[in-house]
């Protein structure tokens, strides 16, 4: 029995509705944080986007494992698209984080802060994934090398995540602790809304991109067959 998938138009509409609702909650419903003030509103999307990026990298690693296990070329393509998505979301994390740092700390970037540097290391690691992938000719060797690299990258995620808890010199807010979320009420509702919006948006963009990539591959094969 084939898997039933949510149609792409339905996903796109859900993304738009969720993102719009999340934005309305961020600016009109959520109260100002007592210690961080208005600037805390960046965190609703900054943290959600960061978790969406981690989810993309984890999915990329899972697809890479599937490729190595079953030698499925579709899994290699899926892994590549997941990593690409993760990198796009990672770019947004770095930009929104830098803007918050400018508001809170008065500087765009602080090299002595582990959480910033470790996220940048994770980001650059996945940037190098593309350099590796496109330096090898298409084929099984490229797919295998990319899969192994994507699998290694997932190790950096817990390191980057825990670095926020190790931050000492500057105050970096912790959204989640061992006892659960560090906030409640409308702040928690708004955060959950933003998180759902970002995950659905990431999945929609993933489906859109992989649909295009699969069509591209099929067209290339068809063109070769017709030539």
Partner 1 sequence: MSTTEKYVTAAYCVVFALVLVYVLILALKLQRLEREVDELAGRVPDEDTEQAPQEPARVG
Q: Which of 54, 80, 100, 191 binds partner 1 (CB under 8 A)?
A: 100
Asked if 45 interacts with partner 1 (CB under 8 A), we say: yes
Asked if 163 interacts with partner 1 (CB under 8 A), we say: no
Nearer to partner 1, 103 or 166 (CB): 103
Q: Which residues contact 112 (CB under 8 A, 6 or more apart)?
A: 169
Task: Centre a 10 Å sphere on the Cβ of residue 216 and count the other Cβ atoms it contains.
Answer: 11
| Closest CA relative to residue 54, chosen from 19, 83, 18 | 83
The Cα–Cα gap between 218 and 50 comes to: 33
27 within 8 A of 41, measured Cβ to Cβ: yes
3-class SS of residue 31: coil
Q: Which two tokens stand for residue 65?
A: 């494992």
| Closest CA relative to residue 11, chosen from 222, 211, 217, 149 | 211
Asked if 128 interacts with partner 1 (CB under 8 A), we say: no
Q: Which of 18, 25, 30, 46 binds partner 1 (CB under 8 A)?
A: 46
Residues binding partner 1: number (CB under 8 A):
30
Q: Least distance to partner 1 from the beta carbon of 45, Å?
A: 6
- Residues numbered 188 to 227 that lie near partner 1 (CB under 8 A) are 201, 205, 208-209, 212, 215-216, 219, 222-223, 226
Asked if 88 interacts with partner 1 (CB under 8 A), we say: yes
Asked if 10 interacts with partner 1 (CB under 8 A), we say: no
CA 69 from centroid of its chain's CA atoms: 24
* Partner residues linked to 11 by β-bridges: none
129 within 8 A of 43, measured Cβ to Cβ: no
Asked if 41 interacts with partner 1 (CB under 8 A), we say: yes
3-class SS of residue 180: strand
Asked if 157 interacts with partner 1 (CB under 8 A), we say: no
Q: Least distance to partner 1 from the beta carbon of 102, Å?
A: 6
Asked if 96 interacts with partner 1 (CB under 8 A), we say: yes
Asked if 91 interacts with partner 1 (CB under 8 A), we say: yes
Residues that bind partner 1 (CB under 8 A): 23, 26, 37-39, 41-42, 45-46, 49, 88, 91-92, 95-96, 99-100, 102-103, 201, 205, 208-209, 212, 215-216, 219, 222-223, 226
């Amino acid at each position: 029995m084939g898997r039933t998938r949510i149609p792409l138009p339905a996903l796109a509409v859900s993304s738009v509705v969720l993102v719009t609702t999340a934005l309305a909650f961020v600016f009109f419903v959520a109260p100002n944080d007592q210690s961080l003030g208005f600037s805390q509103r960046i965190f609703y999307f900054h943290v959600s986007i960061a978790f969406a990026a981690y989810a993309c990298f984890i999915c990329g690693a899972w697809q890479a494992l599937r490729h190595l296990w079953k030698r499925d070329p579709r899994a290699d393509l899926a892994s590549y698209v997941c990593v690409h998505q993760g990198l796009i979301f990672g770019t947004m994390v770095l930009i929104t984080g830098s803007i918050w740092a400018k508001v809170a700390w008065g500087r765009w970037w602080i090299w002595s802060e582990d959480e910033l540097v470790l996220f940048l290391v994770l980001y650059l690691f996945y940037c190098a994934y593309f350099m590796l992938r496109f330096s090898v000719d298409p084929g099984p060797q490229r797919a295998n090398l990319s899969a192994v690299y994507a699998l290694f990258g997932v190790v950096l995620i817990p390191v980057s995540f825990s670095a926020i808890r190790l931050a000492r010199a500057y105050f970096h807010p912790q959204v989640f602790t061992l006892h659960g979320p560090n906030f409640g009420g409308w702040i928690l509702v708004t955060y959950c809304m933003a998180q759902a919006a970002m995950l659905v948006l990431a999945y929609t963009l993933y489906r859109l991109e992989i649909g295009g990539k699969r069509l591209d591959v099929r067209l290339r094969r068809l063109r070769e067959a017709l030539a």
